[in-house]
Structure formats: C-alpha cells, structure tokens
Amino acid sequence: MQFSKSMAALFALLLTIALPAQALEIEITQGVEGALPIAVVPFPYTGKGNPPAQDVAAVITADLGRSGRFRTLPLKDMLARPSRADQVDFRDWRAVNVENLVIGEVLPNGPSGFMVKFRLYDVFRGEQITGFSLPTTQHDLRSTAHQIADMIYEELIGQRGAFNTRIAYITSIRDRKGKETVHLRVADADGYNPQTIVSSRDPLMSPAWSPDGRRLAYASFEKGRPSIWVQEVFSGKRRKLTSFKGINGAPAWSPDGRYLALTLSKDGNPDIYIMDVRRRSLRPLTRHWAIDTEPAWSPDGKYIVFTSDRGGSPQIYRMPASGGKAERITFEGGYNARASYAPDGRYLTLVTRVNGDYRIGMLDTSSGDLQVMSRGKLDESPSFAPNGSMIIYAGRDRGKGVLAAVSTDGRVRQRLALQAGDVREPAWSPYYQQQ
C-alpha cells in the first residue's frame, strides 16, 4: 500500500500535458498554494471544412501552467464545457474552486483562415474581464494561442507575458558514422516549430539575440577557425564581424543594439572587447592576464558582468561598460560562470558548482544571496525570459542534452519539447519589435 501511495504521489507530481505529436513535461516541484486556479475549457471548432490541427486551449493551459503562477484545472474535473457566453454557469466553476475561467471557440475565417474568439471571466464576481477575436491561420495558430496566454497572464498577474516569444539554441546530430552536424535553431518559447537557420560540420556556439529580436550573433568554427557572425533571423542574411587570431566568441548585445561585447584573444589571452556593430570599431574593455570571457550587459547598459579566473577560480565580476575597475560579485562556491541579467537588473542567472554538480543559480545582486534553481549535474547556459518570469537552461537527461525551464520562484520546472539530437545553449529572445 505504501508503494501505491508513493506512486500516486509521483503521478501527481509529474503532470504531463499531452499535445498533438509532441509532449511537454511539466514537473511541479513545490506546492502551488500561491498559484491562481484557472480553467481553460477546450475551444471547439464551429464551422465547415477541416478543423484546425492545433488544440488552442491545450497550448494556453500548458503556457499558464509552466509559468508557475497558475494552477490549471484538469479536463476531467470540469463539470461543464461551455464555449459561448450564454453557456457559462459560474456555479460549475465555483464548485471546483476555480477563480478564473477561459472559454472560446475557433471559427472559419476566409478560405484558409481561422478566427479565435476567447473570453476571460472572474468566476466569483461572475463577470467577464476581457475578450477578443483574433484572426489567424493554421500556421500561426500556436502563436495566437501564446498571444491569448500572454493577454490572460498580463490581465491577472499584472505583468507582460512572455509566451509568444522564441528561443535560439544549438543542436548537434551525429550520423551513423559518428559525423557531426551542428545546427543553430530558432523555435517558439515552448520548443515547438523549430527552424534551422545555420548548419555546419564545425562547432556553432553562443547564440545571442539582438534587443529587437531580429538578429542573432553567434560564434562559428567554419573553415577551421573561430569567427563571430551576425545573422538576420528572417532573411537568413549574415555577415562576418570578427575573425581575429585566437578566440572569437561569447557575443553579447548592448541594450540599445549598437554594440557587441565579445571575447577575443588576439593580444595573447582572452579579454573582453566592445565592438561598434555599424562602424566595426573595437575597444578593449578588460586587460588582464587571466581568462576574461562571457560578457553580459546590465539592462540599463551601464555595466558589464563577465567570468574571470583572475582570483584563482572562475567567478563573476562587474565593471562599468565604459571601462574601469572590475569588482568581484560572486563569493559562494568555487565555480561561478556565464552570468546574465534579469530584466529588472537586480538578479543574475549563472552556472554555479554545488558539491561537484553544475547547476543554475540566481544571484540577488543587492543582498549577495545565491539561490540554486536546478537539480542536474551538468546544467548550463541559463537565460531569463524577457519578463523575468522564467529561466531557460540546458541540462542532460540520460546522456542527452535537453532544454529545461524553471519559474523564477522555483516552483515549476519543465522540460521543453524538442526533437532528437543533443540540444544546448538556449537563449530566450527579447520581445520582438516591429521595425
């Protein structure tokens, strides 16, 4: 009996939300008492012709659930399945202690389009909070679902949602002969719709989004030497920025998009340089015999944090982006590296070694507190969502590189749905800005 009880507990912990073709695994790691109970009722297709191949409500449910801010009601616990306003009986939802209700439907819209209608209700007040009709296509249906999740999130949490954003990452695939092909890919923030934007037989590393979400900088070892490239995500057009002797790596955009901080070892050992992207002019930022690498800008553009082993082990240092004195900011643990800022400028996420394991940490720069956010042995490459609500990182599962995300309150950890291959170095996009 003990056994079945613990098994039941395990199943309760591993809440798996099935989606067509792929699966998202969401692990609730701590109680979700503070989370808002919400029900998202399946959106039926009401029209002639082929129904859409995406379950819109399932995408919204998965988004809200993985943010850690919502507790989503399982389908089997729904006493009714309304899709229009006149079908809603708030007693059905008060009975299962749901505070907010989302209903909607998908309608045909023109020869190949769809219209997604949704309404968000406050169950206890019995009122509609918001409601929209969004025109879309089969291709953009997931994106529309993410937009709806963003609207719900913003309405109820009071902070902009980050579900309709993207991630860039590196995938390595080996053929039967062991020959490796490395891809730089871009996918939705939940791992769906992956698209390859660069492929190479040689390593690709360190993708970094420009602040407008339109360009990616990355390091490539094509032609047998490292170089830094900037590529337009939509057109695929790219240009080589640097190919100096030695290391060319770790590109990081300034918040205004004018500069790239990067690591070069052209003068003998790895130092951080700032390049004016348009003028291609270069100025050194650090000059030290130790390793200085992995620069990242503070959101206000005033500071750069970086990894240095000048004190004997890799630790995070901060210095003014205009140059000056480097100040050590990590003191816990023998290994802290690859830091990047949360949008609030207060927290940093980084790789930290804990009892020999490499894990994702979150450093409060005001108090100096370092909180460990992940549980793997080889976790790396963390970056914040553009609203600071989640951290995406790379870990290993049964020897394979996988991507995971953890809510910044630490309550929900999730493995992203991605296809075969060794996946690593995720970078969460900023909010996309129209030109």
Partner 1 sequence: MITKRLAWLAMIAAAMLFAGCSSTGTKEGEGAGGAAVVEGGQGAQTAGAQQGGAWTGNPLDNPNSPLSTRKIYFDFDRSEIRPEFADVLRAHAAYLAGHPSTTVVVEGHCDERGSREYNIALGERRANAVKQFLEAEGVDPAQINTISYGEERPEAFGHDEAAWALNRRAVPVY
Residues in the site for partner 1, rule: CB under 8 A?
A: 203, 205-206, 221, 224-226, 246-247, 249-250, 263, 265, 269-270, 291, 293-294, 307, 309, 313-314, 335, 337-338, 351, 353, 358, 377-378, 380-381, 396, 399, 424-425
Least CB distance to partner 1 at residue 53 (A): 37
**Please, which residue, 49 or 399, has the CB nearer to partner 1?**
399
For residue 8, what are its two tokens? 């039941």
* Nearby residues of 3 by Cβ (< 8 Å), 6 or more positions away: none
For residue 361, what are its two tokens? 């940490």
Least CB distance to partner 1 at residue 213 (A): 22
**Please, which residue, 238 or 353, has the CB nearer to partner 1?**
353
**Please, which residue, 139 or 377, has the CB nearer to partner 1?**
377
Q: Which residues pair with 281 in a beta bridge?
A: 276
Q: Which residues pair with 307 in a beta bridge?
A: 293, 316
CA distance 119 to 69: 19
**Please, which residue, 54 or 381, has the CB nearer to partner 1?**
381
**Please, which residue, 26 or 262, has the CB nearer to partner 1?**
262
Identify the CA nearest to 63 among candidates 178, 161, 183, 186: 161
Identify the CA nearest to 19 among candidates 429, 405, 389, 416: 416
Helix H or strand E encompassing 134: strand 127-137
Least CB distance to partner 1 at residue 199 (A): 15
Least CB distance to partner 1 at residue 361 (A): 12
Least CB distance to partner 1 at residue 192 (A): 25
Whole-number Cα distances in Å, 227 to 37, 206, 219, 241, 292: 49, 11, 6, 7, 18
**Please, which residue, 104 or 382, has the CB nearer to partner 1?**
382
CA distance 205 to 425: 7
Least CB distance to partner 1 at residue 273 (A): 14
Least CB distance to partner 1 at residue 348 (A): 13
CA distance 142 to 189: 11
Least CB distance to partner 1 at residue 208 (A): 11
**Please, which residue, 163 or 297, has the CB nearer to partner 1?**
297
**Please, which residue, 187 or 316, has the CB nearer to partner 1?**
316
Least CB distance to partner 1 at residue 381 (A): 7
Would you list the DSSP string of 239-291? EEEE--SS-EEEEEE-TTSSEEEEEE-TTSS-EEEEEETTTTEEEE----SS-
**Please, which residue, 27 or 309, has the CB nearer to partner 1?**
309
**Please, which residue, 104 or 314, has the CB nearer to partner 1?**
314
Least CB distance to partner 1 at residue 316 (A): 11
Identify the CA nearest to 207 among candidates 230, 225, 235, 189: 230
CA distance 78 to 99: 13
Least CB distance to partner 1 at residue 245 (A): 9
Q: Which segments within 333-429 are labelled E, that is strand?
A: 336-341, 347-354, 357-364, 370-372, 380-384, 390-397, 400-407, 412-415, 422-428
CA distance 393 to 337: 13
Identify the CA nearest to 249 among candidates 290, 208, 308: 208
| 89-96: long-range contacts, CB 8 A cutoff, minimum separation 24 | 90/121, 90/123, 90/124, 90/126, 93/39, 93/123, 94/123, 94/124, 96/39
In 110-183, which ranges are continuous DSSP H helix? 141-157
**Please, which residue, 120 or 272, has the CB nearer to partner 1?**
272
